[in-house]
Amino acid sequence: MSECSAIPSSLIGYAHWGTSADGRLAQQARALGDALDAFRTSGPDPKYIASIPALDQPASEYARLAAAIDDWVGRVGEAFKQAGQAQAALSARRGVPFDPLTTRISASAAAISAAARTEEVTLQADIAALVPGARSAVASFLTAQEAGPDPRLAAEVSAWWHTLDPQTQQQLITSDPSVIGWLDGLPAAVRDLANRERLGASIQQLTAEKAQLEHDVQLPQWGYWMVRSGSPRPPGTVTPAQNAAWQQELGRVEGLLQGLEAIKGRLGQPGRGQHGLPPVYLLGLDTNELGHAIVAFGNPDTARNVVTYVPGLGSQLSGAAGDMTRAVRVWSEVHAVAPGQQTSSIYWLGYNAPQLGSSLTDPFSSQSVASESPANQGAVALDSFAAGLRAAHVPSFAAHTVILGHSYGSLVVGRAAVRELGRLADDLIFVGSPGVGVNSAAGLGISPSHVWAGEARFDPVPKLPPFDPLEWFGPDSHFGTDPASPAFGGRVFRVDGHLGTIHIGPIPILPNPFPEHSQYWDPGSISLRNMALIVAGLYREVAVYASVPDPTPGPSPTPPPATSPGPPGLPDPSPGPSPTPGSHG
Amino acid sequence: MSDVRFDQQAAAAAVQALADTAALLRSTTDARAGAARQALAGWTGPHADRFRDQDLRRLNAEASGIIRQLVALQAGIEAAQAQASRDLVRQNQGPGGRLLP
C-alpha cells in the first residue's frame, strides 16, 4: 500500500497525544531546571559537587525536539485528511469510484496541495529535490525510446517509475504529460491520466486556431489581375498563396479536432466502461502533423489477451472514429467467443501512415504507399510499444499478445517483428496485406503456425504488383510474398468479401473491388470471428483453408478443422455486407 | 554554625526533580512507542519510513541518553548528600561537637 492509497487516521491522534505529552515533559523539564538552579545557587562546597557529572543534554531540548517531530506528524496527518476530503469531493463530482492507481494519484495531488498550503517543509523539500531529477530522467527515457528501442528500456522505465514516491509521480504527470503520455513501460492508468490532460488542452488550442483560420480565410484576396497590373496591394488583403495555405491548415486542424472529439466521446470516466464496453485508456496522443493516438479498450496491464491493431494507408487522427470502431468490434467479438477472458483491444496510430495524394505511388516520396520508410519508422515505435506492454503488465501472469496489421499496417508489423525475432507478439495477423517485408512466415521470428493472414478475394491491395516486373506473375505482392498465399507458409483464415458497384449517376456501371479492403471487421463476418478466436487463443476453432500446408508445429495452435472451406484466394460467398467502420487501409 | 556547606533541602528537591523527570521520560517513551505503532499501522511510504527509521529512533536514543544522564546526576547528588551528612555527623561527633554527651 502506498503512502497515499489509504488515509491514515491515527496521525492526527498521535500528534495530539504527542503535543500533550511534550507539554508535560517541557513543564517537568522547567521544574527540573529550577530545582537544579536552586541547588547550584545554594552554594554547596565544591568538594561535594566536583564529582557530579554535568547535564549536557537538557530534557528541555529533548522536549523541543519531540514537539517538532510530533508537530510534523500532525501536519502530515492534516495533509492526508485534506487529501481524503479532496478525493471524496472528486469522486462525488465524477460519480464513480476510482481505480486504485487513479485514487492514489489524486490523493497524492491533494496531499501535495494541502502540504503546500500548510507550508509542510519536508514534503516540499522532498519534491523539490526529487522532481527535477525525475523530469530529466523521463526526458532521457523518451529520447532513448525515439532513437530506437533498447530491448531493456521499457523494463527499465517500468522499474524506475515504481521507485518514485507518489508525489513525484503526480508532479511528473502534471508537469510533463507529453512525455509521460508516450513513455512505453509506464502503467496504462498513468499514461491515460497524462494524455487526458493533453486531450483537453489540445481541443482548446485547436478550437482557437480553427476560429482564427476561419476568420483569416475570409479576408479579401489580392487578385492575380492586380498582381499582373503591378498595382500596390490594398490594405487588409492577402495573397492567394496565403489564402491557400490557410485553407490547407484549416483542413488539417478540422481533421485533428474531428479525431480528438471522437476520442473524447469514447473515453468516458477514467477507469470506467460505458455502453457495455470496458474502461478506455488513452495511451498516446499528439497533434503533430496529421496526429497520432493510441486508445485501448480494456486495461492492457491486467488483460489476459492484448491485441494491437495497426492501421495502414490513409490513416490519420481524423479517422480515429472508424479505427476505434474496428478495435471495439474485435473486443466485442472476443468477448462473445470467450466471455470469461479479460481482453484489451488497442487502436495504435503511433506512426505517420502514408496518405492518399499525389505522392501516393511515387517510390521516392517518404510518404508514398510505395515507400517502406513510414513502415520502418513505425516499426521502431511499434516494437517499443509492444515492449512497454510487456513491461507494464501485472507480473502475476504474461498476457497473450497479438498484433493485427491491416494493409500497409501489416508491413509495419512485419518490419517490427524482424527487429528482434520472436519478441514482438505471440500471434501476428495480417489482413488485406500488400506484403510484410519477408517472403515466408518463418522469417517473422515466431512459429509459422502463429502467423495468420486473411484476404478478401477481390481486395485489390494484396494484388499490388512487386516493383520488379519480372516478379509480376509470381506469388509476391508489393512488399514480398503475399502472406495469404501458400508460398508464405502461414495460416490463412476465411474471409467474406463483397464487391461494391461503381455508378455513373444512378446507373451501376462496374463492380468495385475496393470496399473489400475494408470489410474485414464487418459485424457478423467470418473474418471478424476468426480474428477474435485467434486473439482468444481458440486456434482450433479458427476457420482456416485446408489446402494451406500445416506449418511447423507450434505448441499452441491446432490443426485446421476438417470443415474448412475452399482454397486460399477463393473465399466462399456469405451474407451481405454491413457498413464498414473505416474506409482507408 | 556548621562548616559543612551543603543545602540538603535544595539537594533533595533536585533529586526529586531528576527522579520525576526520568520517570516521565520513561513513561513517555513507552507510550510514544505504542502510539507510533498505531500510527504506522495505516501509514506507509517515504514519510512513514522517515518517521519510523529516523525520527522515532532518534527520539528513543536521545531519551535513553537523557535518562542515563538524569540517573547519573541523581546518583551524584545523592552521593554528595551522603558525604555531606557524614561530614556533618563527623563534625558534630568530633572534639567540640555539639552532639557529644
Query: What's the predicted TM-score (pTM) here?
Result: 0.61
Chain A CA closest to residue B48? A3
d(CA A238, CA B89): 118
Contact A49 B80 (CB under 8 A): yes
Contact A325, A340 (CB under 8 A): no
Mean pLDDT over B32-49 rounds to: 81
In this prediction, residue B40 has a pLDDT band, given cuts at 50, 70 and 90, of confident
Q: How far is A52 from chain B (nearest CA, A)?
A: 5
Q: Please report the pLDDT score of residue A191 as a whole number.
A: 95
**Beta bridge mates, A510:** A502
Closest partner residue to A42 (CB to CB) among B7, B21, B24 is: B7
Side chain identity at B94, as an amino acid letter? G
Q: How far is B62 from chain A (nearest CA, A)?
A: 7
- Write a three-state SS string for A25-83: HHHHHHHHHHHHHHHHHCCCCHHHHCCCCCCCCCHHHHHHHHHHHHHHHHHHHHHHHHH
Name every residue whose Cβ is closer than 8 Å to that of residue A481 and which is 6 or more positions away in sequence.
A435, A438, A439, A440, A475, A487, A488
Q: Are A384 and A149 in contact (CB under 8 A)?
A: yes
Among A321, A326, A247, A255, CA closest to A287: A255
Provide the pLDDT for residue A409.
Answer: 95
Give the closest of B13, B59, B72 to A69, CB-based. Answer: B59
Which of A4, A9, A14 to probe the B interface (max B CBs under 10 A)?
A14
Bridge partners (DSSP) listed for residue A309: A347, A404
Q: Given this model, what pLDDT does residue A320 score?
A: 95
Q: Answer for the pair A313, A251: CB distance below 8 angstroms, yes or no.
A: no
B51: chain A residues, CB-CB within 8 Å: 69, 73
Q: Which residue from B14, B43, B50 is facing A8, i.e. has the nearest CB? A: B43
Contact A44 B35 (CB under 8 A): no
For chain A, which ranges sit under pLDDT 50? 1-6, 93-106, 112, 115-116, 119-120, 123, 358-361, 363-366, 472, 547-584
What is the per-residue pLDDT for A466? 55
Asked if B63 and A62 come within 8 Å (Cβ–Cβ), the reply is yes
* Mutation target vs B (from A12, A73, A112, A167; most B CBs, 10 A cutoff): A73
C-alpha–C-alpha distance, residues A236 and B34, integer Å: 79
CA distances from A367 to A196, A295, A353, A371, A583 (A): 29, 24, 7, 7, 19
* Cell triple for A122: 519536508
Residue A529: predicted pLDDT? 96
Q: What is the pLDDT of residue A552?
A: 39
Joined together, the cell numbers standing for residue A293 give 493516438
Nearest to B17 among A31, A56, A57 (CB): A31
A575 CB neighbour count, 10 Å cutoff: 11
Of B14, B20, B31, the CB nearest to A36: B14
CB A141 within 8 A of CB A158: no
Is B16–A69 a contact, with Cβ atoms under 8 angstroms apart? no
DSSP symbols for A162-189: TTS-HHHHHHHHHH-HHHHTT-TTS-HH
> Nearest residue on chain B to A122, judged by CA atoms?
B47
- Going by C-alpha positions, the residue among A87, A82, A90, A176 that lies closest to residue A123 is A82
Q: Is A475 exposed, middle or buried (0-12, 13-18, 19+ CB in 10 A)?
A: middle
DSSP string, A298-354: S-TTT-SEEEEEE--TT--GGGHHHHHHHHHHHHHHHHHH-TTS-EEEEEEE-S---
Q: What span, in angstroms and rounded, lies between the C-alpha atoms of A73 and B55?
A: 10
How confident is the model over B66-95, as a mean pLDDT?
Answer: 86
What's the confidence (pLDDT) of residue A423? 87
pLDDT at A431: 94
Ramachandran sector of residue A557 (left: φ over 0; alpha: ψ -120 to 50; beta: rest) = beta
Q: How far apart are CA A450 and CA A447, in angstroms?
A: 6
Cβ-defined contact of B73 to A8 (cutoff 8 Å): no
* Averaged pLDDT for residues B15-19: 92
This model of the complex carries an ipTM of: 0.91
Query: Higher-confidence residue: A579 or B46?
Result: B46
Q: Does A55 sit within 8 Å of B73, measured CB to CB?
A: yes
Report the alpha-carbon distance of residue A5 to residue A420 in Å, rounded: 39
Taking the CA of residue B68 and the nearest CA in chain A, the distance in Å comes to 10
User: For position A470, what pLDDT does the model report?
Assistant: 53
The pLDDT of residue B95: 62
